Chain A
Amino acid sequence: DVKVTQSSRYLVKRTGEKVFLECVQDMDHENMFWYRQDPGLGLRLIYFSYDVKMKEKGDIPEGYSVSREKKERFSLILESASTNQTSMYLCASRQGGEKLFFGSGTQLSVL
């Protein structure tokens, strides 16, 4: 089965810090995604990548950037963390229109 691995399960950062969230998938999927999940709001797409070095903004890209230098790796960067970025961050991948596979999530707290 597909494995999507996120580098950290829990992370605590201070306001203004630069934060890197890493995600690696092992099934050669074209498409990778970063979502955040907040109570009552469901999953919201931050960024999407459909190929190496290709990215598209999702619904809430402000305050975030991404990097996809290799097909298997998709990184989310918070340039200057703020308290309203405290959330659960979920990475996911899929091949074409097939089912979506999620990583185990990173619970980020920004103090």
Chain B
Amino acid sequence: QSALTQPPSASGSVGQSVTISCTGTSSDVGRYKFVSWYQQHPGKAPKLMIYEVTKRPSGVPDRFSGSKSGNTASLTVSGLQAEDEAEYHCSSYTGNDNNLWIFGGGTRLTVL
């Protein structure tokens, strides 16, 4: 499998909503429920924001939501706040032992 496809950048103003897409194939995103989203601030480790397409870990604001349609997953951030400015990565399980998990290239979210 190749990496998942994400837009390199996205932006929105404080208080607005923004949606980031993550496109895979019928062998990964389209096949499995194990799609996740991670937030990464510069120089920091990734932080899990969404797992199993739509679930939020404890402590993640409900402004963050996930969805999936066919081979494309999406992360929506509502009510943008300044601290949401970060890189966002999607991932999917593939079931392929030689590349068990794949990631997107990351999307840089700018809060205007």
A associates with B: no
Binding site for B on A (CB under 8 A): none
